[in-house]
Amino acid sequence: MSGVGQRTSDVRAVGVVRRPPLHTRPVAPAGWWWDALAVAALVALTLVINAGHLLALDLRVRNWCAAHAELDSVSNVFNRLGQGGFFTAVCLLLALYWVWRRHSVRPLMPVILAFLVNYVSITILKDITNRAAPKSPVPHREIFGSGGVSYPSGHLANASVWYGVLALLLAPWITERWRWVIRIAPPVILTFTTVYLRYHWLTDTVAGILLGFVLWRLIARVPFDDVPLGSFLERRGWAGPALFDRQR
């Protein structure tokens, strides 16, 4: 009977492909504590604003920027770095190039994931807080519920996520130092331009930075080259590694 049982086990094992366990990719700075701290800071900031604090600071910054608007035209040019729709299209085109070049659908995965997490999280938070922008004509526009979509700053959240995806898709062509420049420089520039142009309150921008930091780290941890895509794509040769294979 033991021989029969052994043969049965062998038959059941035929055709079974054992996949290695998935492991998250490393991010810098390492550890989930940074994510937890950023989420806690975003929640705390939102509650503080809702309680009426920091509104005076937002108004003072807005009024100072309005009184010193000499650099508006220059700032408007740099502020285009945060246009989410444009860079979504750029990343999608780059991903499609790698799909064709490497014969794999995997380059589309970070683009799709970035769009989903950005759209869902930003839309939910903006709808909940319902805060008007500094240039809005509504009364008491600095408070939540004044009627708008200012909090958190979509420019900053978009920049953190989409420039991270862009750096990922450009990785075969550029050095690690330039990938860091692409990821860091646009959010730094937008931190100043969105506030200076009164498109967002100062606290909107801080919230956008915190949200974008968390979203990008979640995306960067995904082992896109190792996620099972199913036998349909595997049999047709469209599931091979295509993103990180040259960086390992």
- The residues spanned by each domain of the chain are 29-235
Model confidence pLDDT, tens digit, residues 98-156: 999 999 999 999 999 999 999 999 999 999 999 999 999 999 999 999 999 999 999 99
- Cβ neighbours of 222 (radius 10 Å): 16
> Which residues have C-beta within 8 Å of that of residue 61, sequence separation ≥ 6?
195, 201, 202
Which ranges in the chain belong to alpha helices (H)?
A: 2-13, 33-50, 55-67, 72-79, 84-102, 108-129, 154-170, 176-196, 202-221, 231-235
Task: Please report, as a single letter, which amino acid is at residue 16.
Answer: V
Query: Over the stretch 8-63, which tens digit does the pLDDT of each residue have?
Result: 444 344 444 556 678 888 898 899 999 999 999 999 999 999 999 999 999 999 99
